[in-house]
Structure 1
């Protein structure tokens, strides 16, 4: 019995296509199942205001409570539409072309309400806007 292989002219062939397929599928699986780190979150710490408030000549005080209701001075506005807000600002300005608009917003006020006041003032050409703040608890006014 002769168990030796007969000499052949064929070169041995290594097929790499299945290996590439397996590696590609492994890479796709890892990319899909990877949990992305939460370090990309934006951390915002709002500043506290401890400066002394200077009272300027006439200013318009717009107060917004935690529910998003608007007050011009001490008068509550009927609704929060931009038209009502603009007409109330015009009436309160009493002919002043660019009054100082002071926004007193509760800490729980929806962001949309503050933006609505800023937009109404901008559309009327009032460029001087500011926000009222309070002293951080535990600090005196002269620190």
Structure 2
């Protein structure tokens, strides 16, 4: 008696649907990704290794004290909120946003107080923001 062997069909993997799905996902990700560049504030971070200080004719200097108080061009503000800081910077600059804004923060000032100054400067349209540092003393004390 002759038994028929069952035929084994060759397994075939069709890659076309998988490639179609991957291309669809790629197109979906490209379409859904936003390429907007958020407004950037250019910061000039000077080295603290003896770089000679730049002298500016017209500048706005905002001092952040360790207590959280602000001084704009040497004039102390009554409070430390964003509205008073915005008003003081506007008065000091006369709405000129091309002037350099220098932030001089105490080493013990909170990060929030410094970021508040940077946020106000960004909202007012300043593009030249400098953070001043102290040059370390040379030699042994």
Separation in 2 of the partners of 1:107 and 1:49?
17
Structure index of larger Rg: 1
- Gapped regions of structure 1 (runs ≥ 5): 1-46
- Gapped regions of structure 2 (runs ≥ 5): 1-46
Query: Of the two structures, which has the highest relative contact order with CA contacts closer than 8 Å and spacing of 6 or more?
Result: 2
Specify the alignment match of 2:111 in structure 1.
111
Matched ranges for 1:4-83 at <5 A? 48-83=48-83
Separation in 2 of the partners of 1:131 and 1:49?
14
Shift of 1:77: 0.6
Give the aligned length.
Answer: 93
TM-score of the superposed pair, with normalisation by structure 1: 0.61
Q: What's the Cα RMSD here?
A: 1.5
Shift of 1:98: 2.1
Shift of 1:110: 0.5
Separation in 2 of the partners of 1:72 and 1:56?
16
